[in-house]
Amino acid sequence: MKTTAKKAAPHRQPAGARRWSKQVMETSDAMDLEKGVFTKADPAVIARSLKRSAERSRRKKTDSFRSAMSMLNFYINRGGKKLSKERLRTLEAAKKELRGLFGK
């Protein structure tokens, strides 16, 4: 006798919860980011902007390096599969630049 496993119903999110990451990027209390910082073409420019924002912020919960790197990682992780390989390379290079700027 063959048994059939029941398929789980697809997980449905409330309508307002679908774009939470966009809301975080636009209204985050952690740092005031320069508009369009993650769309810049030069990794060094991205890193310098994140460093400047992190150092100026009085609301961050940790040191400037961790705050800046956290925001960059958040953007990369939320972009996921939608980021082009070129954009991902640029953002990964920005991580290296950021480490250099902070002497890490």
The 10s digit of each residue's pLDDT in 45-75 is: 999 999 998 888 877 778 889 989 988 998 8
Over residues 30-56, mean pLDDT:
88
pLDDT at 32: 76
Neighbour-count burial for 1-35, b at 16+ CB within 10 Å, e otherwise: eeeeeeeeeeeeeeeeeeeeeeeeeeeeebbebee
pLDDT at 26: 59
Q: If pLDDT is split at 50, 70 and 90, which confidence band does 1 have?
A: low
Over residues 67-86, mean pLDDT:
87
pLDDT at 79: 78
Where do the structural domains in the chain lie, given as residue ranges?
A: 37-101
Average per-residue pLDDT for the chain: 81
Q: Is the pTM of this model over 0.75?
A: no
